[in-house]
Amino acid sequence: MRQALPIALICAGMAAVCCGTPAAHAADIQTGVYPQYQPAGVVTEYTSGWYLRGDIGWRADTSIGDAYSAFPVPSGLSIDNIVTGGGGGGYKWNWFRADVTVDFSGRARFATTATPNGAYDAKVSTLVALANVYLDLGTWSGVTPYVGVGAGVANYWIYDYMPPGPNNPDGQSKADFAWAFMAGVAWCFAPRWSVDLNYRRLELGETTFNAHLANALTLKDMTANEFRIGLRYNLD
Protein backbone atom coordinates (compact mmCIF):
# COMPACT_ATOMS: atom_id res chain seq x y z
CA MET A 1 0.00 0.00 0.00
CA ARG A 2 2.85 2.45 0.74
CA GLN A 3 4.42 1.72 -2.67
CA ALA A 4 1.13 2.36 -4.54
CA LEU A 5 0.68 5.87 -3.05
CA PRO A 6 3.83 7.47 -4.63
CA ILE A 7 2.94 5.88 -7.98
CA ALA A 8 -0.57 7.35 -7.80
CA LEU A 9 0.82 10.81 -6.98
CA ILE A 10 3.26 10.66 -9.91
CA CYS A 11 0.46 9.69 -12.34
CA ALA A 12 -1.76 12.49 -11.08
CA GLY A 13 1.03 15.04 -11.59
CA MET A 14 1.68 13.91 -15.15
CA ALA A 15 -2.01 14.15 -15.98
CA ALA A 16 -2.14 17.69 -14.62
CA VAL A 17 0.82 18.72 -16.80
CA CYS A 18 -0.71 17.21 -19.93
CA CYS A 19 -4.10 18.80 -19.33
CA GLY A 20 -2.60 22.23 -18.70
CA THR A 21 -0.55 22.45 -21.91
CA PRO A 22 -3.44 23.31 -24.31
CA ALA A 23 -4.65 25.96 -21.94
CA ALA A 24 -1.23 27.56 -21.92
CA HIS A 25 -1.11 27.63 -25.75
CA ALA A 26 -4.56 29.18 -25.92
CA ALA A 27 -3.51 31.80 -23.43
CA ASP A 28 -0.42 32.60 -25.57
CA ILE A 29 -2.54 33.11 -28.72
CA GLN A 30 -5.05 35.28 -26.90
CA THR A 31 -2.33 37.52 -25.49
CA GLY A 32 -0.90 38.11 -29.02
CA VAL A 33 2.38 36.21 -28.77
CA TYR A 34 2.00 35.13 -32.42
CA PRO A 35 1.76 38.02 -35.00
CA GLN A 36 -1.32 38.40 -37.17
CA TYR A 37 -0.99 37.61 -40.94
CA GLN A 38 -0.86 40.74 -43.12
CA PRO A 39 -1.79 40.29 -46.81
CA ALA A 40 0.56 41.78 -49.44
CA GLY A 41 -0.41 44.92 -51.39
CA VAL A 42 -2.59 44.30 -54.41
CA VAL A 43 -2.09 45.92 -57.85
CA THR A 44 -5.49 46.93 -59.22
CA GLU A 45 -6.63 47.54 -62.79
CA TYR A 46 -9.29 49.44 -64.72
CA THR A 47 -12.70 47.95 -65.37
CA SER A 48 -12.74 46.17 -68.71
CA GLY A 49 -15.03 47.33 -71.49
CA TRP A 50 -15.65 49.81 -74.31
CA TYR A 51 -14.41 53.39 -74.08
CA LEU A 52 -14.40 56.66 -76.01
CA ARG A 53 -11.52 59.14 -76.11
CA GLY A 54 -10.73 62.70 -77.16
CA ASP A 55 -7.25 64.22 -77.48
CA ILE A 56 -5.47 67.49 -78.18
CA GLY A 57 -1.76 67.67 -78.88
CA TRP A 58 1.28 69.61 -79.98
CA ARG A 59 3.16 68.27 -83.02
CA ALA A 60 6.77 69.42 -82.87
CA ASP A 61 10.12 68.82 -84.54
CA THR A 62 8.68 67.54 -87.83
CA SER A 63 11.72 66.40 -89.78
CA ILE A 64 12.15 65.52 -93.44
CA GLY A 65 14.53 62.64 -94.05
CA ASP A 66 15.02 63.30 -97.77
CA ALA A 67 13.63 65.35 -100.66
CA TYR A 68 13.51 64.99 -104.43
CA SER A 69 12.81 67.50 -107.20
CA ALA A 70 13.55 67.97 -110.89
CA PHE A 71 14.84 71.37 -109.87
CA PRO A 72 17.88 71.57 -107.62
CA VAL A 73 16.68 70.31 -104.24
CA PRO A 74 16.43 73.28 -101.88
CA SER A 75 18.04 73.34 -98.47
CA GLY A 76 16.61 74.35 -95.13
CA LEU A 77 13.35 72.41 -95.52
CA SER A 78 11.08 72.86 -92.52
CA ILE A 79 7.49 72.39 -91.38
CA ASP A 80 6.22 74.51 -88.48
CA ASN A 81 4.96 73.06 -85.21
CA ILE A 82 1.17 72.77 -85.05
CA VAL A 83 -1.74 71.93 -82.73
CA THR A 84 -3.58 68.66 -83.35
CA GLY A 85 -6.95 67.38 -82.19
CA GLY A 86 -8.89 64.16 -82.54
CA GLY A 87 -10.72 61.28 -80.96
CA GLY A 88 -11.54 57.62 -81.20
CA GLY A 89 -12.83 54.57 -79.41
CA GLY A 90 -11.68 51.16 -78.29
CA TYR A 91 -11.93 48.24 -75.92
CA LYS A 92 -9.96 47.22 -72.83
CA TRP A 93 -9.55 43.65 -71.63
CA ASN A 94 -7.55 43.16 -68.44
CA TRP A 95 -4.19 44.84 -69.11
CA PHE A 96 -4.59 44.96 -72.91
CA ARG A 97 -6.28 47.72 -74.91
CA ALA A 98 -6.99 48.36 -78.57
CA ASP A 99 -8.48 51.44 -80.21
CA VAL A 100 -8.79 53.44 -83.41
CA THR A 101 -7.80 57.12 -83.37
CA VAL A 102 -8.16 59.93 -85.89
CA ASP A 103 -6.17 63.16 -85.42
CA PHE A 104 -6.27 66.29 -87.57
CA SER A 105 -3.73 69.10 -87.71
CA GLY A 106 -4.24 72.65 -88.91
CA ARG A 107 -2.26 74.23 -91.73
CA ALA A 108 1.45 74.21 -90.85
CA ARG A 109 3.77 76.25 -93.02
CA PHE A 110 6.30 74.46 -95.18
CA ALA A 111 9.26 76.55 -96.39
CA THR A 112 12.76 76.20 -97.78
CA THR A 113 15.87 78.28 -98.09
CA ALA A 114 15.95 80.32 -101.30
CA THR A 115 17.94 78.89 -104.22
CA PRO A 116 18.97 80.45 -107.56
CA ASN A 117 15.74 79.03 -108.96
CA GLY A 118 13.63 80.37 -106.11
CA ALA A 119 12.13 78.93 -102.93
CA TYR A 120 9.29 76.56 -102.19
CA ASP A 121 6.46 77.66 -99.91
CA ALA A 122 3.19 75.98 -98.93
CA LYS A 123 0.81 75.12 -96.11
CA VAL A 124 0.30 71.49 -95.11
CA SER A 125 -2.46 69.89 -93.04
CA THR A 126 -2.75 66.21 -92.16
CA LEU A 127 -5.25 63.65 -91.01
CA VAL A 128 -3.66 60.64 -89.28
CA ALA A 129 -5.84 57.54 -88.71
CA LEU A 130 -4.25 54.69 -86.71
CA ALA A 131 -5.28 51.32 -85.30
CA ASN A 132 -3.45 50.98 -81.96
CA VAL A 133 -2.71 48.30 -79.37
CA TYR A 134 -1.48 48.98 -75.84
CA LEU A 135 -0.14 47.16 -72.82
CA ASP A 136 -1.24 48.67 -69.49
CA LEU A 137 1.51 48.06 -66.95
CA GLY A 138 -0.64 47.83 -63.81
CA THR A 139 -2.56 50.37 -61.78
CA TRP A 140 -1.51 52.00 -58.51
CA SER A 141 -4.01 54.32 -56.80
CA GLY A 142 -5.76 54.89 -60.12
CA VAL A 143 -2.55 55.65 -62.07
CA THR A 144 -1.72 53.37 -65.03
CA PRO A 145 1.46 53.65 -67.15
CA TYR A 146 1.33 52.05 -70.60
CA VAL A 147 3.15 51.54 -73.91
CA GLY A 148 1.70 51.00 -77.36
CA VAL A 149 2.14 50.87 -81.14
CA GLY A 150 -0.12 51.84 -84.03
CA ALA A 151 -0.32 51.66 -87.81
CA GLY A 152 -2.54 53.29 -90.40
CA VAL A 153 -2.55 56.13 -92.91
CA ALA A 154 -1.57 59.80 -93.09
CA ASN A 155 -3.42 61.98 -95.59
CA TYR A 156 -1.87 65.31 -96.64
CA TRP A 157 -3.57 68.40 -98.02
CA ILE A 158 -1.42 71.05 -99.70
CA TYR A 159 -2.54 74.70 -99.82
CA ASP A 160 -1.04 77.88 -101.32
CA TYR A 161 1.81 76.00 -102.96
CA MET A 162 4.40 78.38 -104.41
CA PRO A 163 7.20 76.54 -106.26
CA PRO A 164 9.83 78.01 -108.53
CA GLY A 165 8.23 78.53 -111.92
CA PRO A 166 4.79 79.54 -113.16
CA ASN A 167 2.68 76.60 -111.95
CA ASN A 168 0.66 77.21 -108.80
CA PRO A 169 -1.95 74.44 -108.32
CA ASP A 170 -3.97 74.31 -105.10
CA GLY A 171 -6.00 71.78 -103.11
CA GLN A 172 -3.74 68.77 -103.69
CA SER A 173 -3.96 65.72 -101.45
CA LYS A 174 -2.08 62.46 -101.01
CA ALA A 175 -2.16 59.55 -98.56
CA ASP A 176 0.68 57.33 -97.39
CA PHE A 177 1.35 54.63 -94.80
CA ALA A 178 1.99 55.88 -91.27
CA TRP A 179 2.86 54.22 -87.97
CA ALA A 180 3.68 55.26 -84.42
CA PHE A 181 4.88 54.09 -81.05
CA MET A 182 3.79 55.76 -77.83
CA ALA A 183 4.11 55.76 -74.06
CA GLY A 184 1.99 57.48 -71.46
CA VAL A 185 0.18 57.43 -68.16
CA ALA A 186 -3.55 57.49 -67.43
CA TRP A 187 -5.16 58.62 -64.17
CA CYS A 188 -8.66 57.47 -63.23
CA PHE A 189 -9.85 60.58 -61.38
CA ALA A 190 -13.56 59.69 -61.22
CA PRO A 191 -15.80 56.68 -61.94
CA ARG A 192 -15.57 55.92 -65.69
CA TRP A 193 -13.32 58.96 -66.37
CA SER A 194 -9.55 59.00 -66.96
CA VAL A 195 -7.12 61.69 -68.07
CA ASP A 196 -4.40 60.47 -70.45
CA LEU A 197 -0.97 62.10 -70.86
CA ASN A 198 1.20 60.61 -73.57
CA TYR A 199 4.10 61.00 -75.98
CA ARG A 200 3.79 59.70 -79.55
CA ARG A 201 6.49 59.30 -82.15
CA LEU A 202 4.93 59.47 -85.62
CA GLU A 203 6.38 58.11 -88.84
CA LEU A 204 4.43 60.01 -91.51
CA GLY A 205 5.71 58.57 -94.78
CA GLU A 206 5.98 60.94 -97.76
CA THR A 207 4.03 63.43 -99.81
CA THR A 208 4.53 65.27 -103.11
CA PHE A 209 3.81 68.89 -103.95
CA ASN A 210 2.75 69.61 -107.52
CA ALA A 211 2.67 65.92 -108.45
CA HIS A 212 3.11 65.03 -112.15
CA LEU A 213 4.36 68.52 -113.04
CA ALA A 214 7.87 69.64 -113.86
CA ASN A 215 8.48 71.46 -110.58
CA ALA A 216 7.19 68.71 -108.27
CA LEU A 217 8.83 68.36 -104.87
CA THR A 218 8.64 65.10 -102.89
CA LEU A 219 9.28 65.01 -99.15
CA LYS A 220 10.29 61.59 -97.85
CA ASP A 221 10.65 59.85 -94.48
CA MET A 222 8.86 62.51 -92.46
CA THR A 223 8.72 62.08 -88.69
CA ALA A 224 7.33 64.11 -85.82
CA ASN A 225 7.07 64.17 -82.03
CA GLU A 226 3.64 64.64 -80.47
CA PHE A 227 2.76 65.48 -76.88
CA ARG A 228 -0.92 64.87 -76.16
CA ILE A 229 -3.47 65.13 -73.38
CA GLY A 230 -6.88 63.54 -73.55
CA LEU A 231 -9.91 62.19 -71.74
CA ARG A 232 -11.21 58.62 -71.79
CA TYR A 233 -14.74 57.62 -70.82
CA ASN A 234 -15.55 53.98 -70.02
CA LEU A 235 -18.97 53.00 -71.36
CA ASP A 236 -19.30 49.91 -69.14
29-72: pLDDT as tens digits: 455 555 555 554 444 544 579 999 999 999 999 999 988 877 77
Long-range contacts of 130-133, Cβ-Cβ distance < 8 Å, separation of 24 or more: 130/100, 130/101, 130/178, 130/179, 130/180, 131/98, 131/99, 131/100, 132/90, 132/98, 132/99, 132/100, 132/101, 132/180, 132/182, 133/96, 133/97, 133/98
Specify the pLDDT at position 140: 95
Specify the pLDDT at position 70: 74
Specify the pLDDT at position 173: 85
Domain limits of the chain?
A: 49-234
Report residue 210's pLDDT band, with 50, 70 and 90 as the boundaries: confident
Quick one: average pLDDT of 127-154?
Answer: 97
pLDDT digits (tens, 9 = 90+) for 77-98: 899 999 999 999 999 999 999 9
**What's the CATH number for 49-234?**
2.40.160.20
